[in-house]
Amino acid sequence: MSRYRGPRLRVTRRLGELPGLTRKSAKRQYPPGQHGQARKKRSEYAIRLEEKQKLRFNYGVSERQLLRYVRKARRAAGSTGQVLLQLLEMRLDNTVFRLGMAPTVPGARQLVNHGHITVNGQVVDIPSYQCKPGDVVGVRDTSRSRQLVENNLQSPGLSYVPSHLEFDKNKLQAKVNSVVEREWVALNINELLVVEYYSRQA
């Protein structure tokens, strides 16, 4: 399985805060392992690798998927790094997470996989679905689906909804107004280093 199923706090200790992966915060602030506290100076490759891993773990994508997104971003007009972040942010599972319907991206992926989420009135169970401006993201009209989302909205993963989304909590329905802007990306990352990491492969 390409999806990470191990301890999440171990990842956040190594890479820093990842709001999409877990809401918990580690007690220890140094990397895990025997030599975590005495870690030596990192090479340029190690720094780029770390930035790439932040993207992978935060958005819950495999290495192959991320490489595919990088290649797609290279073909698009504009800054490759910014387009890459926009592609990842506009995934359906991440959009559900940013609306507060799920506490984490893995939780949002499960909601989507289990058929609780609709796009333009149709059930969509593909987490990687790319939301487009004009799409209406809602909750399936069943008591089970509504109850799950309402419970998650009591304590959302992030306390704010980005400016490109418009959310009606009473109807449990959101509209995608535009593509996300760079300043609304919740992850602290240098996307240019990720592009450099993939420069030979993409």
Task: Give the distance between the most distant pair of CA atoms in the chain.
Answer: 54
Taking only the tens place, the pLDDT of each residue in 149-174 is: 999 888 777 778 899 999 998 899 99
Q: What domains lie within the chain, and their CATH numbers?
A: 8-87+186-197 (1.10.1050.10), 91-178 (3.10.290.10)
Range name among 3-12, 43-52, 61-70 with the lowest pLDDT average: 3-12
Rg (CA), the chain: 17
Mapped onto helix, strand or coil, the DSSP state of residue 90 is coil
Q: Is 111 in contact with 96 (CB distance < 8 Å)?
A: yes
Q: Rounded distance, CA 198 to CA 190, Å?
A: 14
Quote the pTM value.
0.86
171 CB-near residues (< 8 Å, 6+ apart): 138
8 vs 119: which has the higher pLDDT: 119
